[in-house]
């Protein structure tokens, strides 16, 4: 357990949650320069399958080439800038990426292979016009992309902490896509603290009984309130499990019913011993985000019907409550009277997130 702050710390300026100019600055220095979680590998299972992910103003194509390797390209034709993919997902016919405007065609590796109706000229070389590539990496079944800059793919302690959970083998049992009318940083801060849990999440507090003390559990030393409801096996509305723990977990991981983990700026994980609730967040404006909520299970123990609802109900309720409160906070931040908030001792991870934001914004843009 991390140590709490020793005193109040200033929060980020209120204008940073609503100002269009500042939002564009964050896109350039945070969203376009960092590794961003863009989806799950299972969403593009076969060569030629594709989907479009929008990061800020930038639409990106995710696909698989003929070898099965994941590729990412800017969704723009090299001819005159038309969108290549105009829907959210699909499959490239004959493994060709064809521009709907003039018909220029590219292979799944991004090479230009056809320019129909173009008059031949000696100064044209197809190899000069490949699709603009986007860097990709994968971990835990998630696809990450980086639009610009030189940044090592470093997930910190995340891979080691969840090595036994084998997240790359999990598959989605349920997915919810939500449009939330709040700045992306409000969602990140909300995930970083549970000071709000007693008034906002009574269902969560009934199974994670430690949260009844407003996020103070574990910060003072020896506690009088147990961490979880008596007999709880996982995080569901009643704490009961209907599928076995992940194969390969050691005794400590099997008995650790809940680990929250945030990989800034946009991947949040709620990890239980038998399933994972993942949040993948992408900004759509200074006061709006799109969040993809996935419930991930081992394929051989994928719950169905009532059993699936048993596993999704708690986080479905909790996620909706968080989205609602962040929207209320976004509305409150429109007040001209409110300039800046504060972080209290239990909100130490909010403070650390704010420091990460400030540090990212101070870094110079690439020349």
Cβ 35 vs Cβ 20: under 8 Å: no
Listed by start position, the domains of the chain span: 9-34+166-362, 39-150
Do you find a cis peptide bond into 352, omega within 30 degrees of 0? no
pLDDT of residue 127: 96
Is the pLDDT assigned to residue 122 strictly greater than 80?
A: yes
Query: What whole-number distance in Å separates Cα of residue 304 and Cα of residue 313?
Result: 13
**Assigned CATH class of 39-150:** mainly beta
pLDDT of residue 4: 66
Confidence band of 219 (pLDDT split at 50, 70, 90):
low
Query: What whole-number distance in Å separates Cα of residue 67 and Cα of residue 185?
Result: 38
pTM: 0.94
Q: Which of 138, 143, 151, 111 is nearest to 127 (CA)?
A: 111
Q: Which of 315, 231, 309, 229 is nearest to 272 (CA)?
A: 315
DSSP sequence for 167-195: GGG-EEEEEEEEEE-S-HHHHHHHHT--T
Query: What whole-number distance in Å separates Cα of residue 104 and Cα of residue 89?
Result: 20
Region 172-188 average pLDDT: 98
pLDDT of residue 367: 38
**Assigned CATH class of 9-34+166-362:** alpha beta
| H helical segments located in 181-290 | 184-191, 197-200, 202-207, 251-255
Is the pLDDT assigned to residue 110 strictly greater than 80?
A: yes
Extended beta strands in 286-326, E state = 288-297
Burial class (CB in 10 A: 0-12, 13-18, 19+), 142: buried
Extended beta strands in 87-194, E state = 89-91, 97-98, 105-106, 112-114, 135-139, 142-146, 171-180
pLDDT of residue 224: 61
Burial class (CB in 10 A: 0-12, 13-18, 19+), 94: exposed
**pLDDT tens per residue, range 31-75:** 999 999 999 999 999 999 999 999 999 999 999 999 999 999 999
Region 249-268 average pLDDT: 96
- The whole-angstrom distance between residue 290's C-alpha and the CA centroid of its chain comes to 10
Cβ 111 vs Cβ 125: under 8 Å: no
Q: In what order do the strands lie in the sheet with 58-64?
A: 70-74, 58-64, 49-55, 89-91
Query: What whole-number distance in Å separates Cα of residue 13 and Cα of residue 336?
Result: 12
Region 1-10 average pLDDT: 75
pLDDT of residue 226: 76
Mean pLDDT of the chain: 94
Instruction: Classify the phi-psi angles of 194: left when phi > 0, otherwise alpha if psi is within -120 to 50, otherwise beta.
Output: alpha
pLDDT of residue 6: 73
């Amino acid at each position: 357990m991390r140590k709490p702050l020793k005193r109040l710390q200033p929060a980020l300026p209120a204008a940073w949650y609503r100002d269009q100019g500042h939002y564009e600055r964050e896109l350039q220095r945070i969203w376009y320069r960092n590794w961003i979680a863009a989806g799950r590998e299972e969403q593009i299972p076969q060569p030629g399958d594709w989907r479009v992910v929008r990061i800020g103003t930038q639409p990106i194509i995710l696909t698989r080439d003929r070898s099965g390797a994941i590729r990412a390209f800017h969704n723009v034709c090299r001819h005159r800038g038309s969108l290549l993919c105009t829907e959210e997902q699909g499959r490239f016919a004959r493994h060709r990426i064809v521009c709907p405007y003039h018909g220029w065609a590219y292979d799944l590796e991004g090479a230009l292979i056809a320019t129909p109706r173009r008059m031949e000229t000696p100064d044209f070389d197809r190899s000069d016009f490949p699709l603009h590539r986007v860097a990709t990496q994968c971990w835990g079944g998630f696809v990450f992309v980086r639009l610009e800059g030189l940044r090592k793919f470093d997930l910190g302690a995340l891979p080691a902490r969840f090595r036994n959970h084998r997240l790359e083998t999990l598959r989605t049992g349920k997915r919810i896509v939500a449009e939330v009318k709040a700045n992306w940083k409000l969602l990140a801060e909300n995930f970083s603290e549970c000071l709000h849990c007693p008034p906002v999440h009574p269902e969560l507090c009934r199974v994670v009984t430690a949260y009844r003390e407003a996020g103070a559990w574990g910060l003072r030393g020896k506690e009088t309130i147990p961490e979880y409801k008596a007999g709880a096996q996982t995080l569901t509305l009643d704490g009961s499990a209907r599928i076995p723990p992940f194969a390969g977990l050691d005794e400590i991981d099997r008995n650790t019913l809940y680990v929250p983990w945030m990989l800034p700026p946009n991947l949040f994980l709620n990890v239980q011993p038998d399933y994972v609730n993942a949040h993948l967040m992408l900004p759509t404006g200074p006061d709006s985000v799109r969040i993809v909520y996935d419930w991930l299970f081992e394929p051989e123990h994928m719950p169905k019907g009532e059993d699936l609802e048993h596993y999704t109900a708690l986080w479905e309720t909790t996620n909706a409550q968080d989205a609602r409160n962040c929207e209320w906070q976004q509305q409150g931040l429109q007040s001209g009277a409110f300039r800046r908030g504060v972080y209290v001792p239990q909100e130490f991870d909010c403070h650390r997130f704010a420091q990460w934001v400030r540090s990212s914004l101070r870094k110079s843009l690439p020349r």
